Amino acid sequence: MWRMVRKFIGTPEADQSLRAQLEEAIDEHEDDANGRTAAGDLSPLERQMLRNLLHFSENDADDVAIPRGEIIALPETASWDEMVAAFAQHGHSRMPVYRETLDEIVGMVLIKDIFPYLATGKAPPKDWATLLRQPLFVPQARGALDVLADMRASRVHLAVVIDEYSGTDGIITIEDLVEEIVGEIEDEHDDAPEVLLVPLDGGMWEADARVELEEVGATVDPRLGEVEEDVDTLGGLAFLLAEAVPPVGAILDHDSGWKLEVIAGNEKHVTRLRLHPPTPQDAPEE
């Protein structure tokens, strides 16, 4: 049908990019299949992976990176036992190592370089910093596809994303890039997915400060997701309303009539909030 319409209005197929043609072919196939998959044909999962691959190059390093606040890293001053304990606790295969702050990452340590000492009982090096390897350093605007190519070429599977001030914005592992194509990969070390929004009695909600405003708007109230400023999370909205890091116990009024109560955090950031629904007297006038 769509091809006929295009032919009628005189739009040549050659005007479309190969990417658009492939995505259109997937759409048409799904419409024709109507939920059925012929033997030997692409499964729904394969079609979704193809879609992800077609849009993979639209992401940059900042889009796929693990945010700075979620980075698990080791201080350069950690002892051998502390480093081994960190690997045991977090289950990672590699971790960045920093000097004083995360903005000064001096290398990364790999569990495969540590394991021979643990397996054989061999005395560890006096200075375990001799085991450090160099990660990749990429700017925020570096394309995700380019980062993947960099990892393949250098055989280094951890990249540090640098912001415009040369500070650490986040990190990317090769798993993060692959997940953009195949979907979430979970192994035996991954914790069960954390619920960031929990409904309470009386229309209230308890929320992790990291929950995206888009999710809050879709789940709780669309008005809570409508923010003109460059804010993505509920914690960011609380900071915006208070014009500072609000202390625990602070209750912040939103234009929609919702109240944001800070129930956990410290002097640097908010960690959990409770959302109180509008009361008749709090509801904004139409």
* Mean pLDDT, range 43-62, rounded to an integer: 82
Q: Which two tokens stand for residue 121?
A: 């009982």
Predicted pLDDT at 157: 92
Nearest to 50 by CA among 28, 19, 80: 19
Summarised one tens digit per residue, pLDDT across range 110-140 is: 999 999 999 988 899 989 999 999 999 999 9
- What is the distance between the alpha carbons of residues 85 and 87, in angstroms, rounded to a whole number? 5
Over the Cα atoms of the chain, what is R_g? 24
Predicted pLDDT at 266: 85
Nearest to 181 by CA among 62, 54, 86: 54
- The pLDDT-based confidence of 189 (bands split at 50, 70, 90) is low
Q: How far is CA 5 from the centre of its chain?
A: 40
Is residue 269 over pLDDT 70?
A: yes
Predicted pLDDT at 5: 47
Q: Count other C-beta atoms under 10 Å from residue 216's C-beta.
A: 23
Domain boundaries, the chain: 2-56, 62-182, 197-276
Predicted pLDDT at 4: 52
259/15: higher pLDDT: 259
Predicted pLDDT at 6: 52
Q: Do domains 62-182 and 197-276 have the same CATH topology?
A: no
In CATH, the architecture of 197-276 is 2-Layer Sandwich (3.30)
- CATH number of the structural domain 62-182: 3.10.580.10
